């Protein structure tokens, strides 16, 4: 299986598992917590059919990647992403981050710039700053994160069952836009992740990305559901759009946090339209200028 080494722990490699399919302009899909790159199964075939090279990878501690005891910070996550981009020699790539994956996109671009990146996409993403503070009144009370950490420590499997209920708004969409079997699949993937990594990532959610977002100077798409119970639109998607100059905002009415499954068709249309806008712009730039 394909792995990229990103460090060592006690003499053992820390490896990131990735999949790289297709050809054409690269699209890197960065998954949400506590899932893996497999969570993009409703997007990968569509992107491949449209002629894109599609890269998914599992965040450290999740999926088939190594499960170190440390390194669950956004500086480290962004460096892991950098190694994926450089090892695979990606250029003119589109970085697509869902939920926690949006943090990688923001920190990567804020730290390493856009030399290899042509577009950015934030879906149900956690930036700019989820934690409520004196200078961030739109954030979420710290007690909420404390409660999540306690619930994970007390009974992680039980917490995950409740979490995915709200991740997909199962009380509304179960049996309609998501099956009971798909909910169980998400639980199974999440339950197999590193318990330490699952816990430590909750603290990473409190990262402040307000200095990263204004540094993004490439075409950016922000997609968020209006019924997101995990990362409320007003605390996140709305503010990302306001902080990234020239960004496009697509709100999906009544869509939950995990809209890449429940609203896959709508999301795929928005994503393909945005990806196509880059190709159209490149063709316009290369078109010959007629003398008048």
Q: Active site includes 155?
A: no
| Residue 53 vs residues 20, 91, 124, 204: alpha-carbon distances, Å | 7, 11, 23, 30
Q: Active site includes 166?
A: no
Q: Active site includes 228?
A: yes
Tokens coding 187: 């639980």
Among 36, 65, 99, 247, the active-site one is 99
Burial (CB < 10 A; 0-12, 13-18, 19+), residue 58, is: buried
Tokens coding 124: 């149900």
The closest alpha carbon to 52, from 84, 96, 22, belongs to: 22
- Which residues share a beta bridge with 93? 117
Among 79, 200, 212, 228, the active-site one is 228
Among 31, 116, 257, 263, the active-site one is 257
Indicate which residues carry an active-site annotation.
99, 228, 257
């Amino acid at each position: 299986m394909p792995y990229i080494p990103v460090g060592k722990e006690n003499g053992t490699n820390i490896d990131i598992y990735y999949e790289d399919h297709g050809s054409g302009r690269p699209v890197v899909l960065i998954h949400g917590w506590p899932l893996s790159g497999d969570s993009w199964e409703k997007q990968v075939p569509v992107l491949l059919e449209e002629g894109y090279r599609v890269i998914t990878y599992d965040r450290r501690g999740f999926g088939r990647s190594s499960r170190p005891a440390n390194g669950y910070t956004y500086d480290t996550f962004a460096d892991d992403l950098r190694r994926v981009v450089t090892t695979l020699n990606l250029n003119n790539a589109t970085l697509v981050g869902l939920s926690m994956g949006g943090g990688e996109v923001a920190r990567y671009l804020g730290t390493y710039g856009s030399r290899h990146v042509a577009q950015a996409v934030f879906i149900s993403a956690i930036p700019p700053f989820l934690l409520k503070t004196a200078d961030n009144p739109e954030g979420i009370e710290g007690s909420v994160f404390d409660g999540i950490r306690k619930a994970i420590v007390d009974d992680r499997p039980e917490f995950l069952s409740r979490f995915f209920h709200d991740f997909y708004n199962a009380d509304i969409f179960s049996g309609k836009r998501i099956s009971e079997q798909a909910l169980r699949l998400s639980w199974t993937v999440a339950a197999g992740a590193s318990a330490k990594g699952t816990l430590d990532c909750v603290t990473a959610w409190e990262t402040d990305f307000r200095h990263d977002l204004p540094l993004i100077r490439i075409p950016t798409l922000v997609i968020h559901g209006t019924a997101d119970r995990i990362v409320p639109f007003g605390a996140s998607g709305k503010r990302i759009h306001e902080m990234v100059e020239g960004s496009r905002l697509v709100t999906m009415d009544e869509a939950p946090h995990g809209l890449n499954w429940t609203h896959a068709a709508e999301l795929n249309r928005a994503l393909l339209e945005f990806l196509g806008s880059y190709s159209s712009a490149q063709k316009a730039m290369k078109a010959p200028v007629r003398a008048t």
